């Protein structure tokens, strides 16, 4: 490994001079600067980002904190992470992944991206000493990027109606979180506009819970119904039980999911779904966080990304 | 942001002294050291990892390089990444994700983890200036961590035989890579031991290609056959077409996958599979890479992790 001492030797100057060229180039003559920079090039010594980080008391590292259990997370975190990492790499930032909130304060980082936050987490957010941004909408004034959840379910519900399904049932996720309220609002408002009565079920975000819901209620279901599901996991469970009951998809029953990452493509039949632009959101979150760090923590506001409906085989 | 100057002011010493306490504590009196350290604590200034990195010409950053297209990667990369990140965090290392090989040399990093390498990639590996380790077996002497692929398919084949399937067909991935040869060898050697004749098909690693294979060959298939598949993606395609043909799983046909991350759980029926310990391998790769960096690039050898058979609904 090339060290600062090697550079000093190569340039035939003191270590102090090398250090000054790196940290306070304005205090050094042009001649000395040239000598040292040439030595650094010769030896392939690249101290800039690290040295600058030291001068600014920056680590050039941010933490990606996920508060959901990894085993239960959707594969879409992979996309979010790649988008986020791409945004960071452009600015020569690196990331640490944190799954245990206790690790947040350990070591060094200039800021945090927090994902999977639930109501009970907000209490300790205000104690964080570094700038942070959230992936996921909230109404407490924290900066965030999210899909426009309400718009997504409005598009899904309008599409189901345009395919002439007579009944539209919403199967939501059983959590009291803003993203869920927004998805339900998108559905409710659209039905209201068409003077139809909403019918909402809520289950845990697992395919087997959705499957059980359909099993328990199948006898009361009528043909010409479309299910608007708050996640692809739920949609997969609905499809599975409809198939077990011998129901015809999409002729008698339509199913529309939400997320559009991986699961929708491996489902059989392939799932019509509201696709989130996860990679893009990751990139935007990196930009937002780095800007917030550069601006000493000043508010960045909220960004809502429009999702797109992907039409496949579970709607007619 | 707290800077080195703030610490100097707080401790009432020169910036040089603060710098010396950080970089060469052995050159400073105990009294001065105490003063500066107290000032750093008061101001919540944590320069250690960054300062040490500067002194050692280290960035405390490594790159996670994936050479496969992200859209086509299995969700298991998420697990690998989390395991790798956990291993790094223990040593206060951060990571940058790289998906474009051209970005490898950009910016700073002390070493690389390379995943998804194919034969054509090895040419440029030797030009890399930093230590690196591979995720995925190779026979060219590069350090790696991988699943014991041969052992995995031996376990799968032995299990299929123990469930009294009379014919065992291997559906492999159509690539000329060591991991695939090892999986095939595990199958072939086991059949040979039982004096049975191997029957191998190879398709691209997509469920629809496996589905087409079964469709094209279904008439020649006999009951009491078990398919040993080189991935869960392939297994899912085999299952799908067997179901379309009205074949009974697991009574007439058994299916065993490989990977055991996510896809096996959402398949219907749930998939019997050879499960890789991906998270653990990520952690081991971090340890291997950081040790290699600490030892100035000396060889670390190879680690093969034994996979486990998970018995579910696609075998009788």
**Among B257, B50, B158, residue whose Cα is nearest residue A57:** B50
Q: Do A70 and B61 touch (CB under 8 A)?
A: no
Exposure letters A271-300 (e unless 16+ CB within 10 A, then b): bbbbbbbbbbbbbbbbbbbbebbeeeeeeb
Q: Do B75 and A107 touch (CB under 8 A)?
A: no
Give the whole-angstrom CA distance, residue B7 versus residue B14.
Answer: 9
CATH number of the structural domain spanning residue B20: 1.10.260.40
Looking at residue B303, the DSSP 8-state letter turns out to be E
* All residues at 6 or more sequence positions from A259 whose CB lies less than 8 Å from its CB, including other chains: A74, A76, A231, A232, A233, A273, A274, A275, A276
Q: Do B266 and A46 touch (CB under 8 A)?
A: no
Task: Count structural domains, chain B.
Answer: 3
* A258 and A172 both lie in a single domain: yes
Token pair listed for B149: 């692929």
Q: Do A54 and B4 touch (CB under 8 A)?
A: yes
Q: Which of B1, B82, B263 lies closest to A97 in CB terms?
A: B82
Q: Do B94 and A94 touch (CB under 8 A)?
A: yes
* A272 and A159 both lie in a single domain: yes
Kindly list the averaged pLDDT for each block of 10 residues, start to end, along chain B of length 316: 83 84 74 84 68 68 86 69 88 87 81 90 87 94 97 98 98 95 98 97 95 97 97 95 95 97 84 95 97 94 97 96
Does position A21 have pLDDT exceeding 60, yes or no? yes
The owner of tokens 């039980």 is A241
Q: Which residue has the higher pLDDT, A128 or B100?
A: A128
- B292 touches B300 (CB < 8 A): yes
As a three-state string, the secondary structure of B145-184 is: EEECHHHHHHHHHHHHHHCCCCEEEEEEECCCCHHHHHHH
User: How confident is residue A304, by pLDDT bands cut at 50, 70 and 90?
Assistant: very high
Note the pLDDT of residue A267: 83
Q: Do B49 and A2 touch (CB under 8 A)?
A: no
Q: Which residue of A has its CA nearest to B233?
A: A266
| Residue in B54, B235, B261 to test binding to A, most A beta-carbons within 10 Å | B54
Give the whole-angstrom CA distance, residue B112 versus residue B62.
Answer: 6
Does position A50 have pLDDT exceeding 60, yes or no? no
Note the pLDDT of residue A51: 56
Note the pLDDT of residue B103: 77
Note the pLDDT of residue B70: 61
Token pair listed for A186: 């998108």
Q: Which residue of B has its CA nearest to A4?
A: B55
Order the strands of the A272-275 sheet from edge to edge: A200-203, A167-173, A225-229, A253-259, A272-275, A308-310
Q: Which of A2, A81, A266 lies closest to B263 in CB terms?
A: A266
* B17 and B82 both lie in a single domain: no
As a whole number, the mean pLDDT across chain A is 89
Give the whole-angstrom CA distance, residue A86 versus residue A90.
Answer: 7
Looking at the complex, report in whole angstroms how far the Cα of residue A221 sits from the nearest Cα belonging to chain B: 23
Query: Has residue B313 been placed in a domain?
Result: no
* All residues at 6 or more sequence positions from A100 whose CB lies less than 8 Å from its CB, including other chains: none
CA distances for B146 relative to A297, B67, B136, B302, angstroms: 43, 16, 5, 8
* A272 and A241 both lie in a single domain: yes
Note the pLDDT of residue B99: 79
Query: Has residue A123 been placed in a domain?
Result: yes
Q: Are strands A308-310 and A272-275 parallel, antiparallel or unpaired?
A: antiparallel
CATH number of the structural domain spanning residue B236: 3.40.50.2300
* B24 and B139 both lie in a single domain: no
Query: Has residue B196 been placed in a domain?
Result: yes
Residues forming beta bridges with residue A79, ordered by sequence position:
none
Q: Do A50 and B107 touch (CB under 8 A)?
A: no
Q: Which residue of B has its CA nearest to A62?
A: B94
Query: Has residue B224 been placed in a domain?
Result: yes
Note the pLDDT of residue A271: 96
DSSP string covering A94-117: EEEEE-SGGGTTSS--SEEEEES-
Provide, as residue numbers in chain B, all residues whose Cβ is less than 8 Å from the Cβ of A76: none
Exposure letters A49-64 (e unless 16+ CB within 10 A, then b): bbbebbeebbbbbbbb
Note the pLDDT of residue A261: 86
Q: Do A88 and B81 touch (CB under 8 A)?
A: no
Q: Do A89 and B108 touch (CB under 8 A)?
A: no
What phi and psi values does residue B76 have, to the nearest 5 degrees?
Answer: -65, -20
Residues forming beta bridges with residue A115, ordered by sequence position:
A66, A135
Query: Has residue A107 been placed in a domain?
Result: yes
Note the pLDDT of residue A166: 97
CA distances for A87 relative to A91, A96, B97, angstroms: 7, 14, 10
Q: Do B75 and A262 touch (CB under 8 A)?
A: yes
Does position A53 have pLDDT exceeding 70, yes or no? no
- B314 touches B274 (CB < 8 A): no
Which domain range does residue A244 map to?
Answer: 149-276
Looking at residue A13, the DSSP 8-state letter turns out to be S
Q: What is the Cβ-side half-sphere exposure of residue B314, based on CA atoms within 13 angstroms?
A: 33
Looking at the complex, report in whole angstroms how far the Cα of residue A81 sits from the nearest Cα belonging to chain B: 9
CA distances for B282 relative to A129, B134, B274, angstroms: 30, 11, 18
Query: Has residue B260 been placed in a domain?
Result: yes
Q: Which residue of B has its CA nearest to A82?
A: B97
Give me the mean pLDDT over the A129-155 stretch. Answer: 95
Looking at the complex, report in whole angstroms how far the Cα of residue B3 sits from the nearest Cα belonging to chain A: 5
Token pair listed for B112: 């690389």
* B87 and B159 both lie in a single domain: no
Q: Which residue of A has its CA nearest to B76?
A: A75
Query: Has residue A314 been placed in a domain?
Result: no
| Residue in A50, A106, A294 to test binding to B, most B beta-carbons within 10 Å | A50
Looking at the complex, report in whole angstroms how far the Cα of residue B74 sits from the nearest Cα belonging to chain A: 9
Does position A48 have pLDDT exceeding 90, yes or no? no
CB pairs under 8 A between A and B: 133
CA distances for B158 relative to B10, B149, B182, B186, B212, angstroms: 70, 14, 16, 10, 27
Note the pLDDT of residue B65: 92
Note the pLDDT of residue A56: 64
Q: Do B70 and A92 touch (CB under 8 A)?
A: no
Q: Do A96 and B85 touch (CB under 8 A)?
A: yes
Last residue of one domain, picked from the residues A12, A28, A55: A55
Q: Do B54 and A54 touch (CB under 8 A)?
A: yes
Looking at the complex, report in whole angstroms how far the Cα of residue A75 sits from the nearest Cα belonging to chain B: 6
* B13 and B38 both lie in a single domain: yes
Q: Do A82 and B61 touch (CB under 8 A)?
A: no
Give me the sign of the Cα torsion angle A258, A261, A263, A264.
Answer: positive
CA distances for B215 relative to B131, B159, B238, B246, B315, angstroms: 47, 26, 9, 12, 20
Q: Which of B50, B92, B296 lies closest to A54 in CB terms?
A: B50
Three-state secondary-structure class, residue A142: coil
Q: Which residue has the higher pLDDT, B81 or A154?
A: A154
Note the pLDDT of residue A46: 67
Number of Cβ within a 10 Å radius of residue B193: 12
Query: Has residue B312 been placed in a domain?
Result: no
* A184 and A120 both lie in a single domain: no
* B72 and B166 both lie in a single domain: no
- A284 touches A303 (CB < 8 A): yes
Q: Do A78 and B98 touch (CB under 8 A)?
A: no
Q: Which residue of B has its CA nearest to A265?
A: B207
- B272 touches B314 (CB < 8 A): yes
Q: What is the pLDDT of residues A253-288, one digit of tens each?
A: 999 999 998 888 778 889 999 999 998 999 999 999
* A135 and A197 both lie in a single domain: no
Three-state secondary-structure class, residue A197: coil
* B153 and B270 both lie in a single domain: yes
| Residue in A14, A59, A242 to test binding to B, most B beta-carbons within 10 Å | A59
* A139 and A65 both lie in a single domain: yes
């Amino acid at each position: 490994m090339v060290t600062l001492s090697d550079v000093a030797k190569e340039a035939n100057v003191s270590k102090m001079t090398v250090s000054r060229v790196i940290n306070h180039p304005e205090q050094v003559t042009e001649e000395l600067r040239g000598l040292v920079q040439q030595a650094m090039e010769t030896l392939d010594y690249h101290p800039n980002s690290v040295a600058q980080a030291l001068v600014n008391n920056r680590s050039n590292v941010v933490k990606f904190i996920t508060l959901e259990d990894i085993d239960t997370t959707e594969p879409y975190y992979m996309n979010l992470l790649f988008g986020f990492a791409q945004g960071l790499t452009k600015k020569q930032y690196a990331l640490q992944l944190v799954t245990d909130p206790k690790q947040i304060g350990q070591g060094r980082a200039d800021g945090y991206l927090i994902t999977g936050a639930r109501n009970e987490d907000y209490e300790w957010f205000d104690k964080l000493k570094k700038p942070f941004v959230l992936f996921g909408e909230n109404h407490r004034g924290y900066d965030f990027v999210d899909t426009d959840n309400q718009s997504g379910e409005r598009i899904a519900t309008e599409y189901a109606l345009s395919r002439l399904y007579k009944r539209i049932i919403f199967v939501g996720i059983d959590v009291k979180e803003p993203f869920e309220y927004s998805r339900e609002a998108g559905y409710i408002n659209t039905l209201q506009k068409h003077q139809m009565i909403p019918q909402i079920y809520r289950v845990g975000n697992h395919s087997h819970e959705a499957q059980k819901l359909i099993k328990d209620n199948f006898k009361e279901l009528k043909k010409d119904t479309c299910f608007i599901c708050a996640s692809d996991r739920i949609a997969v469970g609905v499809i599975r039980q409809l198939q077990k009951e011998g129901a015809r998809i999409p002729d008698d029953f339509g199913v529309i999911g939400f997320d559009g990452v991986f699961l929708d493509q491996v489902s059989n039949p392939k799932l019509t779904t509201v696709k989130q632009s996860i990679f893009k959101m990751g990139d935007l979150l990196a930009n937002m966080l780095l800007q917030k760090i550069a601006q000493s923590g000043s508010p960045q506001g909220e960004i809502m990304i429009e999702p797109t409906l992907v039409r496949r085989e579970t709607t007619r």
